[in-house]
Structure 1
């Protein structure tokens, strides 16, 4: 995996962008094993704008839940080491312990599918098409951002 800047996982982020926008964005060349979904920028900005207006400035978990239309996806770590969950487009990381499960729930409206998921050797990226989601443990407790992040995982941010 290629590192970019202070540890930004550019290789995996590039693969997701290529799946969403085609092989030419944001870098040239096809992503191995990924077919372009061919979304337009409007497919992202339209739900974002619609959901932003509905939030009326309340970006708390309660505000996001108030958007309604919840669609959950279970993400689990069946490996013997930490697994990074990277939530896009917000760019937030969560680190799952071996055997741990979390639920990413999309709220609001979106174009096409509620999620795009990309798996790499050490990371699962979930692109939330509505741009608004919560991450909770199966019991409903909110998962703190950067939970279990190993020291130095992203350099000094």
Structure 2
């Protein structure tokens, strides 16, 4: 395979639950919160990396490990910022994150 001319959709993730679902992209540690019914796509910069994602699931969160540079985007390739739909902190002593 040769490198792609641009980002390549590598992994589609849909929140089919009824509550927010945290999608974490490693090794960057970026968090992206999915509302019920929302679909995000992990985009790779090369076609060679598409089949190399590793996925771990735990209650309320999915972690995706990318082998090289990747980003979370919508189905059209528009990047979704870290902290997308992040819930506000709970408790009186928590700092608000950007």
Instruction: Report TM bin, short chain.
Output: 0.7 to 0.9
Which one has a bigger Cα radius of gyration?
1
What TM-score, normalized to structure 2? 0.76
Q: Could you tell me which of 66, 69, 77 is aligned with 1:140?
A: 77
Distance 1:151-1:74 versus aligned 2 partners, 3 A rule? same
The structure with the largest strand share of the pair is: 2
Could you tell me which runs of 5 or more consecutive residues in structure 2 were left unpaired when the two chains were aligned. Answer: none
Could you tell me which runs of 5 or more consecutive residues in structure 1 were left unpaired when the two chains were aligned. Answer: 1-64
What TM-score, normalized to structure 1? 0.49
- 1:150 paired residue number: 87
Distance 1:87-1:107 versus aligned 2 partners, 3 A rule? same
The structure with the largest helix share of the pair is: 1
- 2:32 paired residue number: 94
Q: Distance in 2 between matches of 1:70 and 1:140?
A: 9
Could you list the structure 1 runs, at least 4 aligned residues long, displaced by more than 6 angstroms after superposition: none
- 1:83 paired residue number: 21
Higher relative contact order (CA 8 A, sep 6+): 2
Q: How does 1:7-156 map to 2 (within 5 A)?
A: 68=6, 70-108=8-46, 113-130=51-68, 132-152=69-89, 155-156=94-95
